[in-house]
Structure 1
Amino acid sequence: MLLNRKSVELLAPAGTWDALVAGVESGADAVYLGGKHFNMRMHEGEFNFDDALLKKAIDYAHEHGVRLYITLNNLISNEEIPALREYLAYLNEIRPDALLVQDFAVLELVHEMGITIPLHTSVMMNTHNEHAIEKLKEYGITRIVVGREMTLSELSLFRERTGIEVEYFMHGDMCISESGQCIHSGVLFGQSGNRGRCLKPCRWAYKLIDEKTGEVLDKDGPGAYKLALKDMCMYRAIPQLIQAGVFSFKIEGRMRPAGFIRRIVSTYRKAIDAYIADPNGYTTDEEGWKKLYDNRARDFTTTFAFGQPGKKDIGFTGEREPRFFSHAVKEAGFQDEVLRQERDIEKENAAHRVLSVRCNTVESAKAAIRSGADTVYVGGEAFRPLRPWKLGDYEEILAYAKGKARVVVTTPRTTMRRECGELEQFFTALREIRPDGLMVSNLGSLKLAQSLTDLPVQADLSFNLFNQLAAKFLKENGLSMAATSYELSFEQLREIVETAELPLETVVHGSYESMICDHDFPAMSLPAFNELDNPEVLDRHYALLDTAGEKHAIRIDQYGRNHLYFAKDLCLYPYLSKFNGLASYRIEAQDYTPELTGRVTKLYREALDALAAGKGAEEAFDHAAFEEVERLSPREWGIGTYRFRQSRNSI
């Protein structure tokens, strides 16, 4: 590859006019910024650009030969769609060089309105496999901001196979969770990280404990801030970035002052130019490194660029944490003042209300079917010490369910190159086994499922369905049903159910993940953790204990990913009469025993049948059965985000 000044793009952030000027004057090839609405930095009123200033910024950038991209990269709720239409029409007039997007609603509107601005996927779209790229190209996507969990070697192959332009974070604040897969702030505070309002529970102090006994396991560990990832700094790896095929070098920092932007951009500009001018003779400019290092906020890491991160990549002491956005609080129990006052969903119910249950073993699936489940979801991630489902397991449950229930096979939420390779073989085998359907979690596994099988396909929670236009997008792409986001308030859910053309499923009960991480938290916190010498350490149930006394279970799947759970399980049993018109009521029993799976399924089955028979909410509610099952639950119950009037919006 012969390099020249246009071989790579140095992309600077701007949250204020002064920061924009600093980035341009310091040598940025492009700048990205957000308007006052619809972006991932919604906390600070003095940051971001109003409509008039956006036009002025575009004109200024173009006068200086610099490209300008506008972030439109958060989830959109139904009530925001009219304002989004107006905003897109305005952006089409003032002509930025690209829009960074997350929500499928934007793709729908861009097509509907004839918007001709190039589109880049935000990192929040969690694009991590080549099959997703092929699908996104159909919607005019020209650049991908790849997931932070992708190594440079994986990225290089990804770029070679797809030919798409790649943007990569190379400096700044990083999330510990997979992008778009953290709902902790949204459920706990009603301020969603997927909607630009994250209050950063990942920056809290935690103890690592044995979930069953409560024993503190990390008394001699490196520190309490176990999820506090250090800041990305790829300054010493500029040659590797360029040779891997990264086109755009992205600096994070739209909340940073102009002086910070000027220093960072000028330092990277000088280094990139030096490498392009003489790759063979290039060495790291140690003066530039010292300038970055001495002015750092947090310490530095290269996260996944060169392989699996370890304890050296976490700021365990919290000493260099520049700001704490929140503190641990107790999760909501049945604090339902808002929910009880909400108008019921006004949509006709089917004569028989469908109950689906996600199960972790063959025995749990059988228990759910015996207790009245219409659909069982099987497969996907297996949480140790459980083992993944084998082909024979699927055949067994299909034989058992015949004539009683549908069996839908799930797939992993994250499908990197390894998982995609396994899915290709798995989907081919399913042609013979013939389950009743598939449930997928991203556009890549959707494309694989549709190309290798003729089975009905539905969308799981990872699609972050937040509005009716996203539902329309999924329907147009052949999906038969989709799960709604956990972060929706009841009011926002009601709007979608009443307007969406696609059948919708909502989780009404169960344990659920606050975030999914490719980091191994027990391994990073425990000095004696060694899975090679002691593989049994992988099968132990760990948990994180926050300073409010809430216990967050950690589940390790077959791919080594850590799933962090909320301290309370979701329970909407007392409010079922409000949830009308759903295509499916779903129970998440992946962390339940077969006995508990059966008991919870029976509880909901009887209530749904009572409502279908015309009984009122109080008649359908079995207090004794409710209390008995609650006692058997491994965690307390609560209503999650339904305690809020809305997930705070972006307008």
Structure 2
Amino acid sequence: MILNRKSVELLAPAGTWDALVAGVESGADACYLGGKHFNMRMHEGDFNFDDEMLKKAIAYTHEHDVKLYITLNNLISDEEVPALREYLAYLNEIKPDALLVQDFAVLELVHEMGIDIPIHTSVMMNTHNEHAIEKLKEYGITRIVVGREMTLSELSLFRERTGIEVEYFMHGDMCMSESGQCIHSGVIFGQSGNRGRCLKPCRWAYSLIDEQTGEVLDKDSDGAYKLALKDMCMYRSIPQLIQAGVFSFKIEGRMRPAPFIRRIVSTYRKAIDAYIADPMGYKVDEEGWKSLYENRARDFTTTFAFGSPTKQDIGMTGEREPRFFSDAVKEAGFQDEILKKERDINKENDAHRTLSVRVNTIDSAKAAVDNGADVIYVGGEAFRPFRPWTLSEYADIIAYAKGKAKVVINTPRTTMRRECGELEQFLTAIASRPELAADGIMVSNLGSLKLAKQYTKLPIQADVSFNLFNHLAAKFLKENSLVMACSSLELSFEQLREIVESSELPIETIVHGSYESMICDHNIPGMSLPHYSELDNPEVLDRRYALLDNAKEKHSIRIDQFGRNHIYFAKDLCLYPYLKKFNGIASYRIEAQDYTPEFTGKVTKLYREALDALASGQEIDQSKLAELQQGPRELGLGTFRFRQSRNSI
């Protein structure tokens, strides 16, 4: 690759006019900013650009031969769709150089309205494999912002395989969770991180405990801020970024003041130009480094760029945390006054209401089948000490359930290169062996969807990780041959009702069970415990850990077969008392992956009886709620206690 001034793009953030000017004057090739609606920085009223300022910003940047990208990168609820249409029409008039998007609804409207602005995927779309990129290219996507968990070597490989332009966060604030897969703020506060209102529970203090005994395991650790990732800084690694094939060097910081933007952009501009002018003779400008380091907010890290992070990448002490957006709070129980007053969903029910159960073992699968489940979800992640399902176990449960329940095979939520390779071989086996002929496949991202369509002819449905938030996203999934999709766990009842009543695609909803607040590619116990060693003591992976916050809420950690850490809410979701309101749901789903076979059977039986009672015009036996409260956690309503997931208008 022969480098020149146009080989890479330095992309600067702007939250105010002064910051935009600072970025342009300091040498940015492009700037990105948000309007007053529909973006991932909705907390501060003085930031972001109104419609007239957007038009002025485009004119200003183009006068200086600088590109301007507008962020339209949060999830959109149905009540926001009319305003979104108007906004897109306006953007099509003023013609920014690209839009950054997360929600599939935007892709639908761009096609429907004939919008001819280039589209880039936001990091929030969690694009992390080449198969997802190939699917997105079908929709005219010209650039992707890759997931933060991707190493430069992985990035380089799929850049070569797909040929797509890659944008990479190389300086600034970083999320601990996989992008788009953190719902902690949305469920606890009704302010979703996927909708630009994150209150950053990852910046709380936590103790690492033994889940069974409550013993505090990290008394001698470096500090309590175990999820507080340091700020990304790739200044000392510019050659590696360029040679990996990164085109756009993205600086995070749309809430930063103009002097901060000026300093960061000018420092990176000088270093990038120096490398391009003389790669072999390049050396790090230590004065530039000193300027960045002495004016830092948090300390610095390179996160996953060169491999898995360690405790050195976490701001354990909290000393350099510039702002805490919230404090730990008790998760809500049945604070249900809002839900009680909501109008029931107005959609006709099937004569027999479908009950689906996601299970962890073959014994739990059999318990669900025996107690009335219509569908069981098997496979996908296996949380240690449980092991992944084998081909023979799939065959056994398919044979056992025949004539009694459908078996849908689940796939991992995150499918990087390793998981994609395993998934291809697995899907080939399913397609070629009669004893593995399941009733369907459940996928969690566009890459898995593409592989499932390529290798099998089974019906495909979308898991909760697709963040389904509106009927247009459901339409997108239906057009891609999916037969059903699970609604987002951040939707309020009112917002769910809008989707169910208007969607042509059948909608599944989780009504009970344990569920994740975050999914992390970090080894949280390994970063907190001084003598944690998978090589010396592999049994440490099978111990059940939890995080205890300052409100004394216990968040279970589950480690899957790929080493990812799934952090759970302290309360399990329970919609049993309110099932009568949930009409027209295509599938009522129980998340039993963290339950014993015995409790899986009990919960399945209680929900089966309740749904059958509703189908026959009878009332639910509310006294049975006491039996549901015998599980591993207390019960709560999750986001259904809110009138709405706070919107972006």
TM-score band (shorter)?
A: over 0.9
Partner of 1:302: 302
In 1: Cα distance, 2:140 partner to 2:100 partner: 12
Q: Deviations over 1:459-487 (max 9, x none)?
A: 00110000000000000000000000000
Partner of 2:83: 83
What pairs up with 1:173-572 in 2 under 5 angstroms? 173-431=173-431, 432=433, 433-572=436-575
Partner of 1:627: 626
What pairs up with 1:87-236 in 2 under 5 angstroms? 87-236=87-236
In 2: Cα distance, 1:352 partner to 1:441 partner: 27
Amino acid at match of 1:476: E
In 2: Cα distance, 1:455 partner to 1:332 partner: 40
Partner of 2:645: 647
Other structure's SS at 2:482 match: coil
Other structure's SS at 1:365 match: helix
Question: What is the deviation of 1:222?
Answer: 1.1
Amino acid at match of 1:553: S
Other structure's SS at 1:208 match: strand
In 2: Cα distance, 1:216 partner to 1:529 partner: 15
Amino acid at match of 1:445: S
Which residue of 589, 593, 609 maps to 1:586?
589
Amino acid at match of 1:181: Q
Which residue of 599, 602, 612 maps to 2:602?
599
Which residue of 627, 634, 637 maps to 2:635?
637
Q: Deviations over 1:601-629 (max 9, x none)?
A: 001000000000011xxx31240x32123
Other structure's SS at 1:61 match: helix
TM-score after normalising by structure 2:
0.99
Q: Deviations over 1:251-299 (max 9, x none)?
A: 0000000000000000000000000000000000000000000000000
In 1: Cα distance, 2:628 partner to 2:128 partner: 40
In 2: Cα distance, 1:37 partner to 1:46 partner: 13
In 2: Cα distance, 1:322 partner to 1:399 partner: 57
Amino acid at match of 2:553: E
Amino acid at match of 1:626: L
Q: Deviations over 1:86-129 (max 9, x none)?
A: 00000000000000000000000000000000000000000000
In 1: Cα distance, 2:276 partner to 2:311 partner: 34
Contact 2:577–2:622 (CA under 8 A) maintained in structure 1: no
In 2: Cα distance, 1:32 partner to 1:226 partner: 31
Question: What is the deviation of 1:160?
Answer: 0.2
In 2: Cα distance, 1:33 partner to 1:126 partner: 20
RMSD over aligned CA atoms reads 0.4
In 2: Cα distance, 1:480 partner to 1:129 partner: 23
Q: Deviations over 1:231-252 (max 9, x none)?
A: 0000000000000000000000
Partner of 1:614: 617
Partner of 2:42: 42
In 2: Cα distance, 1:214 partner to 1:349 partner: 45
In 1: Cα distance, 2:531 partner to 2:153 partner: 30
In 2: Cα distance, 1:415 partner to 1:457 partner: 17
Question: What is the deviation of 1:630?
Answer: 1.1
In 2: Cα distance, 1:579 partner to 1:332 partner: 21
In 1: Cα distance, 2:626 partner to 2:325 partner: 37
Runs of 4+ in 1 over 2 A off after TM superposition: none
Question: What is the deviation of 1:570?
Answer: 0.1
Partner of 2:70: 70
Amino acid at match of 1:399: A
Q: Deviations over 1:31-50 (max 9, x none)?
A: 00000000000000000000
Q: Deviations over 1:181-227 (max 9, x none)?
A: 00000000000000000000000000000001000000001100000
Question: What is the deviation of 1:135?
Answer: 0.5
Amino acid at match of 2:14: A
In 2: Cα distance, 1:629 partner to 1:264 partner: 54
Other structure's SS at 2:323 match: coil
TM-score after normalising by structure 1:
0.99
Amino acid at match of 1:18: D
In 2: Cα distance, 1:142 partner to 1:151 partner: 21
In 1: Cα distance, 2:137 partner to 2:625 partner: 49
Q: Deviations over 1:147-202 (max 9, x none)?
A: 00000000000100000000000000000000000000000000000000000000
In 2: Cα distance, 1:620 partner to 1:456 partner: 32
In 1: Cα distance, 2:184 partner to 2:55 partner: 35
Q: How many residues end up aligned between the 2 structures?
A: 646
Amino acid at match of 2:97: D
Structure 2 regions of 5+ residues with no counterpart? none
Partner of 1:32: 32
In 2: Cα distance, 1:458 partner to 1:332 partner: 31
In 2: Cα distance, 1:308 partner to 1:626 partner: 43
Amino acid at match of 1:640: G
In 1: Cα distance, 2:627 partner to 2:9 partner: 61
In 2: Cα distance, 1:318 partner to 1:265 partner: 27
Other structure's SS at 1:167 match: strand
In 2: Cα distance, 1:199 partner to 1:66 partner: 33
In 2: Cα distance, 1:221 partner to 1:273 partner: 42
Question: What is the deviation of 1:594?
Answer: 0.2
Amino acid at match of 2:463: D
Amino acid at match of 2:229: L
Q: Deviations over 1:411-447 (max 9, x none)?
A: 0000000000000000000112110000000000000
Contact 2:4–2:276 (CA under 8 A) maintained in structure 1: yes
Question: What is the deviation of 1:78?
Answer: 0.1
Other structure's SS at 1:620 match: coil
In 2: Cα distance, 1:323 partner to 1:630 partner: 38
Q: Deviations over 1:361-415 (max 9, x none)?
A: 0000000000000000000000000000000000000010000000000000000
Structure 1 regions of 5+ residues with no counterpart? none
